[in-house]
Amino acid sequence: MIYGYHLMLCLFLIIFQTTLLVGGGTVHLYDLLAPLVVYLGVYHLPRRAIPVLVLGGLAMDGISGGVFGVHLTAYLWMYVGVRWAIQFLQVDNVILLPLLVTAGIVFESLVVAFSAVVLASAPWPVESMFPVVSAQVLWGAVTGPFLMLFFIRGQKVVDRASKSFYAEKSPLRKP
């Protein structure tokens, strides 16, 4: 059930940011999947997170016209980084969790910007990097933690639903 929740969340975020949010004035919107990757890194083991990261990364790379594989790369390295960071960070802290989300958005924005400025066949000028990345980070720092809270709340609802579903199916259940 949790796999379904993560995949639905991933698909919803991709569709949301490629249809509704474009052309609405948010020119430098950050990738909404970055907070999802941080959430997966904090709360889920690789066997639950990696399939979602790979599918989400490939879908984003397929839709985007940038360097193919850059989103997949960013998501996987970000996940590894978050798993490493939570070994010594108390992520339940109200300050550290938003900071971790913002750090994830900074990392993702820098990786994509680096690919556009250095690796692309027709690279962007380096000076265009600063305004785009800073705007994305600002947006991300303000809204990213709220997205994270939304994911956590959603997970609690799914966990409750799945527990009650399996409790009803259980052969040990008293009639």
Partner 1 sequence: MFSKRMILVALVIVLVAVNIILLTITGKHTQAPSGLGRGALVIVSPFQKQFTAFFNSVKDTWNQYFFLVSTAEENQRLKKALGQSLEQLNRYSETEIANDRLRHLLDFEKVIPRPMIAAQVVGKDPSAWSKTIIVDKGTRDSVRQGAPVVIPEGIVGVVVEASARYAKVLLLTDPNSAVDALVQQTRARGIVKGGGADFCVFDYVLRKHDISVGDMVVSSGLDGVFPKGFRVGRISEIVRQNAGIFQKVSVTPYVDFEILEEVFIISEPDYESPPGES
DSSP output for 76-105: HHHHHHHHHHTTTS-TTSTTHHHHHHHHHH
Question: Least distance to partner 1 from the beta carbon of 16, Å?
Answer: 8
Q: In the bound complex, what is the minimum distance in angstroms from residue 107's beta carbon to partner 1?
A: 13
Work out whether 14 is an interface residue with partner 1 (CB under 8 A).
yes
Contacting partner 1 within 54-93 (CB under 8 A): 58-70, 73, 77
- Which span sits near partner 1 by CB under 8 A: 13-21, 85-93, 94-102, 143-151? 13-21
Q: Which residue in 1, 54, 119, 161 binds partner 1 (CB under 8 A)?
A: 119
Residue 174's H or E segment, with its range, is none
Give dist(CA 60, CA 112) in Å, integer.
12
Residue found by looking up tokens 């969790």 in the block: 97
Radius of gyration of the chain from Cα atoms? 18
Give yes or no for a contact between 113 and 134, defined as CB atoms under 8 angstroms apart: no
Contacts of 38 (CB under 8 A, 6+ apart): 78, 82, 100, 101, 104, 148
Check binding of 113 to partner 1 (CB under 8 A).
yes
Contact status: 104 vs partner 1 (CB under 8 A): no
Please give the Cα distance from 56 to 72 (Å, whole number). 8
Q: Shortest Cβ distance from residue 62 to partner 1 (Å)?
A: 2
Could you give the CA distance from residue 98 to residue 114 in angstroms, rounded to a whole number?
24
Residues 124-153 that bind partner 1 (CB under 8 A): 124-125, 128, 132, 136
Minimum separation from the CB atom of position 165 to partner 1 (A): 26
Q: Is 123 in the site for partner 1 (CB under 8 A)?
A: yes
* Residues in touch with partner 1 (CB under 8 A): 11, 14-23, 27-29, 31-32, 58-70, 73, 77, 112-113, 115-116, 119-125, 128, 132, 136
